[in-house]
Amino acid sequence: MVLAMVVCANTGDLLLKRGMSSIGAVEFTAEGLSHAFRLTIFNPTIWMAIFFLLGFMICYMTVLSWADYSYVMPAGAFGYAVLTVCAVAFLHESVSIRRWVGVLIICVGVMLVGQTKPRTTEVPASQKVAA
């Protein structure tokens, strides 16, 4: 579920970036904003981005319903590593040593957090029945 959360967030962000790039720079005037709003409403890439970001929100809420916040939060940073690997594998971008070191440190951090118990708080009896 955490992996689905990370994939949905990254895919949504990438699609949003692609959609907004196709619209172009938004002018910060009433006319510019309303024009940009109309363009975003009819842009299928933006709708796909919203779909994935909605998926992220649902995964995030579901994960938080059983796992610790202090467990989910750092695990979400794993997205930076996924994004970097995707950038190299699919976009053939060159990645600096500093960025790889950052990715490695994130992975070690996520692994450390991953070894701890996902849930350390008690489940009230009423919730057990509801679930």
Q: Contact residues for other proteins (CB under 8 A)?
A: 1, 58, 60-62, 64-66, 68-71, 73-74, 77, 80, 84, 96, 98-99, 101-117, 120-121, 127-128, 130-131
CA angle 10, 88, 50 (to 5 degrees): 20
Least Å from the CB of residue 70 to other proteins: 4
HSE, CB side, 13 Å, CA atoms: give it for residue 17.
6
Closer residue to other proteins, CB minimum distance, 22 or 127 = 127
Distance CA 21, CA 39 (A): 12
Least distance to other proteins, CB of residue 71, Å: 7
CB nearer to other proteins: pick between 34 and 62: 62
- Considering the complex, what minimum distance in angstroms separates the CB of residue 41 from other proteins? 20
Which residues make Cβ contacts (< 8 Å) with residue 100, sequence separation at least 6?
84
Contact present, 110 and 74 (Cβ < 8 Å)? yes
**Nearer to other proteins among residue 21 and residue 120 (C-beta):** 120
